[in-house]
Chains A and B, each alone.
Chain A
Amino acid sequence: MKSARLLRGGVIWALLAMLLVWSLAPVAVMLFTSFKPGSDIYQVPVRLLPDTWTLENYRTVFTGSNMPTALWNSIVVGLLVSAATLIFCFSAGYALARFRFRAARPLALFILLGQVVPLTVVLLPLYQFVNAMNLLDTTIGVAFAHLAITVPLVTWMVRNQVAAIPIDLEEAAMIDGGSRFDAVTYVTLPICAPGLAAAGMFAFLQSWHEFLFASVMTSSTSARTAPVSLTEFAGEFSVDWGATMAASVVLTLPIVVLFVALQRYFVAGLTGGAVKG
């Protein structure tokens, strides 16, 4: 009996170890390649660790490319997208969860349709929309385009979170003399806070790594976001893999730090309302 349990535990740990290697191997290759000089990247036999450690690739990224500006642009766009997503989606999600009207359910499903339409399909209309507002080649224009990605799913996330909160709590606040707005700000919002933090982070993540819209909506280096700026390291005839990997590390690190810091809220927020709604 004990040996069977040990065997089962061993198999589970082995599977978990394989999953870990499968997941982390590309990250390890990215990280260590970023510290390799050009001659080490293609050495045979292949080695994970550099023979000679160098920061040259990072120097290229920070002093010989537009990546610093692009990273700043990505942060600006991400924050704008997060803020706008939360404002729009909380309003919409709350309305869908709390107000009874004939088209509530079809409308909710219609919003979700935005999530299943391929991005290439909405690219041209969005481009024309952003162009009509004269926002092409601006960080605000990119943020507008990214809202098309974040709004549908976040609206649903928020709707489910609000629906999971007993309406009795809001009614109690209103019986005590508060308005609906008071009930929302004093009761619903504090309860929803972890979920909203997760939704905001989700929106930020979506915006942070988005490539297609950002590559089409921006033309100058002053508005390019970091994923688009990564392509600068691929020339007409060659790819600077060392610099590409260093830039990828720079691009990944803030997100990993953010995720680790807010992991508790993220998981709680994503599962909030999962059993009722």
Chain B
Amino acid sequence: MAEEKEGGLVFHPLDQFIVKPLFGDGPVQWYTVTNLTLWMAIALLAIIGVFVLGSRGRAVIPSRIQSIGELIYGFIYKMVEDVTGKDGVKYFPYIMTLFLFILFSNYLALIPMSYSPTSMIAVTAVLGFGVFICVTALGFILNGPKFLGLFWMSDAPAILRPIIAVIEVISYFVRPVSHSIRLAGNIMAGHAVLKVFAGFAALALVSPFAIFGIVAIYGLEVLVCGIQAYVFTILTCVYLRDALHPSH
């Protein structure tokens, strides 16, 4: 280890996730403007750029940026409509907000030296548990006690029903955990691996392999960023469908 340190092979793959105040050196309070704030703001500005400025012309024949916005709009709208049904369409703006925040944060995090808010477990936990709490509350408000029918398989054999109910309840409460850790884990692991390869690139002998590895992992990350945003959104839609139509 000592030898490696002398050769310049010091890498801290997790340092990229440190939250730093943007102005001054004080402790990070809940209101402090940090690098995380900066990159969330950049994501917000990018979303405004694509969806508000891009569609400014309201053109029937869209400009390039407007057609990107329309493509994403149509994609998510169709997903919400297909998965949750016609009555789920009124929740489309919320799901669109989630999708856009995750998608833009994921892709902006691929810019070198940037910060990735979606790799923070606190961020994705708020998203995941937020979805879980909203969907559960919605299920009880819309269906009342009938929402509990979600856990009661009426077409299963009578002996198995209580066992299945227990399993269903456990799996229901695991949902927000897996929902949030899936996203944070994927993004964090990808960025950490990129950093490890980057650290190896300092070693002349293996640097060609390391750089090839960085390119390959980066390409993989481009896929993962889109797929994770998609997975998070479609799972939200699935949970929402359960709340709207709890009967199996």
Question: Is the A/B pair a real complex?
Answer: no
Query: Chain B interface (Cβ within 8 Å of chain A)?
Result: none
